[in-house]
A = this chain, B = another copy of it.
Amino acid sequence: MDQSELMQHISQQYNAELEAIRTKVLAMGGLVEQQLERAIGSLYDGQIEQAEEVVANDHKVNAFDVEIDERCTKIIALRQPTASDLRLVLTVIKTTADLERIGDEAKRVARMAISTAKSEAGRNLYQRIEHLGDRVREMLHSALDAFARMDVEEAIRVAHEDRRIDQEYEAIMRQGMTYMMEDPRSIPLLIDIMWAARALERIGDRCCNICEYIIYFVKGKDVRHTSLEQIAEEFGEEPTNADE
Interface residues of A (CB under 8 A from B): 59, 62-63, 65-66, 69-70, 73, 76-77, 80-83, 86-87, 90, 93-94, 97, 173, 177, 180-181, 184-185, 187-188, 191, 194, 198, 222, 224-225
Contact = CB atoms under 8 A, between A and B. Distances in A.
Contacts of A194: 191
Nearest to A194: B191
A134 B94 CA distance: 31
Number of this chain's copies in the complex = 2
A218 to B, nearest CB: 15
A187 B177 contact: yes
A65 B224 contact: yes
Contact of A90 (B63, B73, B173, B180): B73
B181 A69 contact: no
A54 to B, nearest CB: 16
A184 B185 contact: no
A177 B188 contact: yes
A163 B80 CA distance: 40
A181 B189 CA distance: 12
Contact of A224 (B62, B86, B187, B225): B62
A27 B63 CA distance: 33
A106 to B, nearest CB: 16
B73 A83 contact: no
